[in-house]
Each structure stands twice: as structure tokens, then as C-alpha cells.
Chains A and B, each alone.
Chain A
Amino acid sequence: MSSVTCELCPRGCVIPEGAAGDCRIRVNLGGKLRATTYGRPSAIHIDPMEKKPLYHFHPGAQIFSLATAGCNLHCLNCQNWQLSQRGGEEMEETYRAEPADIVAAAIEERCKAIAYTYSDPIVFYEYVYDTSVLARERGLTNVFVTAAYINREPLRRLCRVIDATNADLKAFDDGFYRRVNGATLKPVLDALVTFREEGVWMEVTNLVIPTLNDDLAMIRRMSRWIVSELGANTPLHFSRFQPQYRMRNLPPTPADTLRRARTEALDAGLRYVYIGNVLGDAGSSTYCPRDKTLLIGRSGFTITDYNLTADGRCPTCHDKIPGVWS
């Protein structure tokens, strides 16, 4: 019986023959590691780009979004747990969609981009990679929505074919990662730096959970780290928690908590800080950091105002606004 060691994520699972990695979908069959959900997604939707959320990357575009079963994190508050916390053999339905099928479907649906999302696409790495290569050849862009719990070398290779990412930074606290997500903080920070080094457009999401990671001092430390390691132009999204899965004992995040977090992050030097999952909040719109001109107004996932110039500048001061606008 020959076991294999997975090198994809920091868990480094040692997998005996006939067993799966911690992610449930990378399985040792016959002494070789198999990607059992390659070409077999269990979720396919067309979403607005703002749902990822990406606010500085092709705003308003439709994005073809897919996921397979499995995940290498086990967040107590997972919103897609029916998908992420199950193996492929436990899914009632899988679609047969090879990379070429996905690209063809995205083009047919007039999507500009493909998102690998919902569960963590790290675990269906090979499917992401091959689909992304084909998508690029056909003029589509690739978006990787992830918790960034991945080793550096696989990530560097993936970055060659990924155009944008929204990466979760769930808390600036290793204990939180261990207790709530079944992971650790440092590999996530390393991955975010790698995304930046490799030139992938990156926005960061922090889901604020009452009493667990809403401490303003921690949010300040996290924001300062983003400024120093990723850059002040990195958009940061503070997202509202909703009780679900194994964390139904806590209330939804009050809007005021998110507003205080946003103020703290702006004070720390970040220029683009957003509030998510609060319908109609002014903090979900984009403003010019210099003169506060409303650049992109949003309500939910809908764009209500668009005042950027064609080349992505503020119409008042003509400062270049960082992002991928065309």
C-alpha cells in the first residue's frame, strides 16, 4: 500500500491508498493522487462581477462562475457548506463539463470572464488551470475567489493564467484561523504577497463576525499590514456575517460595526474600503481618494452611477484609479 503526500496546500496531507486528502476530493487510487472532480462541477451560475466581490475589475460585467465539491478549509460559518464540506461521491449532481465546454458556454452566455469560486478552487486546481489556459486563448479573463490557503509554488504557477483574485483574509489572528476555519494564518499572508508579486489584480475580503474578529485594534493591524505588504491601493471589503451552518448562535454583523471597521481601515491608509452585504450603504460605492467624487455608485450588486473616464480616471481631478476598467 503506497501512500502519497499532497503538496498543494499547507496541510501536506499524507494519504494512504483508498483515502482522500482533507479536502475530500483529491484521492489516492492505486498509489497515484487523483483529481476526482476534474471536469465535474456541481455548481454553475452566471453572476455579476460585484458578487465575487470585485469592484475594480470589469465593473458590471457578467461572470461565468463554477465550483466542484470539496474544500481545504472547514469554516464553521461556511455559506456553501453543502458543496464545500462534501466529497464528489456525496454530491447528488455533477455536470460533465470539460475545460473546453466551460469556455464555450461562457462565450455563448456573453460572459467576459470565468470565476472559480463558491467552494475553494484550490482543491480543483488542475481543472482551474486547464480551463484558464483555454479561456485566455479565447480572450476571456480568469478570476480566482479563494481563502488563499495554498503553497507558494503551486500558486506561482497558477498566477500565470489568473487575471484577478478576491482573497479572503478571515482575521489577522492565527487562533481565529485554527478555531473557526481549521487553518493557519501565515500561509494565507504568504499567498496574498505572492498574488501581489505575480501581478494578479487582487481585492481582499474580511468577513466581520460579531465578537470573534470585530476588534478594531485587530482590524487596524490587518489594514496596516495590507498597506505595507500589498499596497494602499488594494481594495478591502468588509463583509457582513449572516448566521449559518455551525455558527447560528451569533447575530448578523451590525452595519455600524462595518462602518467603524471601514473608518479604521481608511485611517490606516487604505484608499478603497468597502462595506458588503448591506444594501444601499454609501460604503459600497467607490470615491476618489483625493476629492471624494463619486466614481462608481452601487446598491447591492447593481451599479447605480458610473462616472469614471474611459481610461479609468476621476472626472474631477483626473487621477488614475487603480483597477482593470476596460
Chain B
Amino acid sequence: MTVQIKTWHPREVRFVGLIALTLLGMALYLGDGLRLASRDGSGHRVIDIQALERRIEAGDLRDREALWYHETRPDDGGGRSVP
């Protein structure tokens, strides 16, 4: 094994580097997922806003202002998208 390490070629170094980068990427992805999963809220959904506005214009839906909200403050959280 020691002999093999001493005789590493650049392509093998690149390969090990690629593996290490892949593992780092996976760790960051999973870590971010765990962080988001541990939070209770701060979600939003991307919707078909054109469809919504068409339905509002047609009178099928409303644009009545809701109660119980405020303009987002810096300490309100990230506003992640939920699937």
C-alpha cells in the first residue's frame, strides 16, 4: 500500500480529489436538509401565479387582504420553498 501511495500518478490524485469533493457535496446537501427539517416553519410554495391571477380576474377567486401577517423582518427566517 505504501509503495502504491509513493507511486501515485496525477490522475489518481485527481480521482481521489473527485471522490473527496463528492463526499463533501453530499455532506453539505444532507446537512442543509437536516437543518431545514429541524425548523418548524418559514416555508412557501411556488404556485402558478398567472393561473391564480386569471382565476381572480374571472371572479373564481379573490384578492382580499388577509389578517395576521406582517412585512418580513430580518429575523423571520429564510423563506425556503417547499415542494
Interface set of A (CB-CB < 8 Å, partner B): 2-8, 10-16, 18-22, 24, 26-27, 29, 31-40, 87-90, 94, 96, 125-126, 129, 151, 153-154, 184
Contact = CB atoms under 8 A, between A and B. Distances in A.
Interchain residue pairs A-B with the least CB separation, the first 10: A14-B79, A11-B41, A12-B41, A33-B69, A3-B72, A35-B66, A89-B52, A33-B66, A38-B64, A89-B51
B70 interface: yes
Contacts of A37: 61-62
Contacts of B41: 10-13, 22
Contacts of A39: 62, 64
A20 B44 contact: yes
Contacts of A10: 40-41
A33 B68 CA distance: 9
Most chain A Cβ neighbours within 10 Å, of B41, B70, B81: B41
Interface in B43-83: 43-49, 51-56, 59-73, 76-79, 81-82
B44 A21 contact: yes
B42 interface: yes
Nearest to B76: A5
26 contacts: A3-B79, A6-B66, A6-B68, A8-B67, A8-B68, A11-B40, A14-B72, A14-B79, A19-B49, A20-B47, A24-B45, A24-B47, A27-B49, A29-B53, A34-B64, A34-B65, A35-B66, A36-B56, A36-B64, A37-B61, A40-B60, A40-B62, A94-B61, A96-B59, A126-B66, A154-B67
Given A3-B79, A22-B43, A39-B62, 20 more contacts: A2-B72, A5-B71, A5-B72, A5-B76, A5-B77, A8-B69, A12-B77, A14-B42, A14-B76, A16-B79, A18-B49, A19-B47, A19-B49, A27-B47, A34-B62, A35-B62, A88-B55, A94-B60, A125-B68, A126-B66
Contact of A5 (B49, B51, B63, B70): B70
A22 B52 CA distance: 16
Contacts of B63: 29, 34, 36
Contacts of A14: 42-44, 72, 76-79
A125 B79 contact: no
A130 to B, nearest CB: 10
Nearest to A15: B44
Interface string B20-32: 0000000000000
Contacts of B47: 19-20, 24, 27, 87, 89
